[in-house]
Amino acid sequence: MVRKIVLLFWTLALVIAGGKAASPQQPNVEPFAYQKEFDKDSALFSFVQVTDTHIITGKPVDSIKKGIEDINLLRPQPKFAVVTGDLIDGAEPEASTKLYKELFSRLRCPLFSVYGNHDNREEYKKLLGKFNYSFYLPPYHFIVLDNIDTEDAKDTYDGKFSECTVAWLKEHLQSVSKKVPIILFCHATVYREGSYSAKLPGDAHNYEAVLELLKPYNVVAWFAGHAHCNALVRKEGVDYFTTGCLSDNRGNSGCPLGYLIVTVYKDRVETSYRPITDFVAPIVVAQDGSGDFNGKDERPILEAIKKVSKTGGTIFIKPGEYLVRTRIGPQNNITFTGTPQTVLRLPYPVLTTAAAEKGQDFLMVGDTSELAAGIRLQVFPPVGMKAFPGGDETQLEPTVKAVKKGKLLLAEPLPCTVPQKSRVGCRYNHIFCMHGKKNIIIKNLVMDGGRKPDIPMPGHCERCAILATGPNTYADGLTGPPTENVQVINCHIRNCYGRAVTMYGVVHSKVEGCLIENIDDDAIGFDHYCYYCQAIGNDVKNSHRGVNINDGSYCTVEYNRFTNCGRPVIVWWWHLCPKMDIDIGNKIRHNFIYSPKREAISIGGRCFWNEVSGNFVEGSIKVAEPNNVVEENHTLR
């Protein structure tokens, strides 16, 4: 979906011209307090190192397949994987190298390969490419070096930096800043205790020439394999890692098969070796008995969450419609995934078919098929009545004791009269991410809010698809670690009384590639004290509002399509929030807005330093404050 919208953007950009306004100055406000602490020592990204796979065509590759599947399930997903040499083994290098390439094509992250002494140069070059090369992932520069040479290196099993590699590195470093942090990969390590050669500090000859070239540069770490063990040597401020192999044909010395997870910080790396015994398959929820947990409502999903609550993991929900009658609350490091035929649905609301007197312990309703004992209801007066007769109660919240056909037995007597045609429904959201949770991924699911146009029900923060909250107050902002890295990806969210996705006190999260339609409230809400959240490439239709940023900052709304929404994009300040580091730095770019019912884009009062650029809109763009960037937007005719 993202690609389709981006393509449409550039197609229209060729035929529609627009105006440009002068850029304002940045306001004199400080970034929010928690973000300073968050950035102080926060991880930038992660990658994985696999090594010495020794793939032989015609022989088992089960361990490697398990490793690739396990890497794909990591949360957060690594930015890339690198295999540091000895990719293959055996007498059929062409077929083995092709098999290596096919197996690792299943990774969901980019792959980088390193040449090892068991690899074949001709097939490696033909199928995998260069022996010495570099890549850049800000702020780090990564360098891959070939340090295998058969000349005078038998004692290290061909571990040697050739003159060709040294010459390449010398030329390459001329274009690299001496300030940028560098991480290097090779097959044979430079430093290792118990190295193959008694004459060397590691497993690579001619290492001195390479270290001399790198001496003026900001080298943080080296990663290597070759020795089939886990080892670390810290030398002159640089970490030299040797990692155990992941192979079906070779073993390790002193450690099980596995791979290395590397977490990258501004000035260092931290590593965790993941042994094969920790590899886990997804927990499967199904309706046909084929799952680890089975059923047609939320209960098997809750059992699956309990199963992975301590370790994290992926819950795969097989096709079918699952009735969600109570809150699904995930723990850290959990991914929910499904198929286009996997539907989580809230129960439809019903009407009472007869009046219930005060003190009565049951309600007569039109349909009880989706209700069950133990659930908590919300009961509202009939449409047009603000409160129940004889009092000021605007809603009741009884618990269901038992269900009979057309009749709900209640756990407590009613405190007031409930008229006929009162509205009865469940109050919960599909998924509720509580304070301080991290790394919750929701993807490839259909979530239906159970909305019936002829029975209006309250919404906002109830009857939503996804609600994520971090600890905050209006006056103080974030009062503790926020909820972080909630991702809603490629989902279809529809028919909600409340919001489709709403976040409060959440940082570094996103909604991407989703179809969101028929929403009585916001399609996406980045509310009080959300920072660095993103709405990217979504298709939003028939919603009260599209993306609502209410006291959120540094959020991005781009490459979305909004059709027939009340206010497609709005940024505004809530008067009970006195802090000055809110409603700033948001970017609204490259969106398409069709048939809005009010302004296409609205930036309210006391909202500063926001950017509205490159959008294609029907309707108007309204910006209250002068010091916001509004440029290169286009009117659709």
Is 113 a residue whose pLDDT tops 60?
Answer: yes
Report the candidate in 467, 456, 448, 446 with the shortest Cα–Cα distance to residue 422: 456
Is 361 a residue whose pLDDT tops 50?
Answer: yes
Burial class (CB in 10 A: 0-12, 13-18, 19+), 375: middle
Report the candidate in 333, 242, 241 with the shortest Cα–Cα distance to residue 280: 333
Range name among 2-11, 238-247, 498-507 with the lowest pLDDT average: 2-11
Strand partners, 114: 84
pLDDT at 41: 60
Domain ranges of the chain: 45-264, 283-346+428-635, 350-425
Is 7 a residue whose pLDDT tops 90?
Answer: no
Is 164 a residue whose pLDDT tops 60?
Answer: yes
Average pLDDT of the chain to the nearest whole number: 92
Residue range 119-143, pLDDT digits in tens? 999 999 999 999 999 999 999 999 9
pLDDT at 91: 83
Is 29 a residue whose pLDDT tops 80?
Answer: no
45-264 belongs to which CATH class? Answer: alpha beta
Three-class DSSP category at 209: helix
Range name among 45-54, 96-105, 426-435 with the lowest pLDDT average: 426-435
Superfamily name and number for 283-346+428-635? Single-stranded right-handed beta-helix, Pectin lyase-like (2.160.20.10)
For residues 497 and 510, give the distance between their C-alpha atoms in angstroms, rounded to a whole number.
22
What's the CATH architecture for 350-425? Beta Barrel (2.40)
Q: How many whole angstroms from its chain centre is CA 623? A: 31
The pTM is what? 0.71
Residue range 519-572, pLDDT digits in tens? 999 999 999 999 999 999 999 999 999 999 999 999 999 999 999 999 999 999
pLDDT-based confidence at 42, cuts 50/70/90? confident
Report the candidate in 81, 75, 97, 218 with the shortest Cα–Cα distance to residue 144: 81
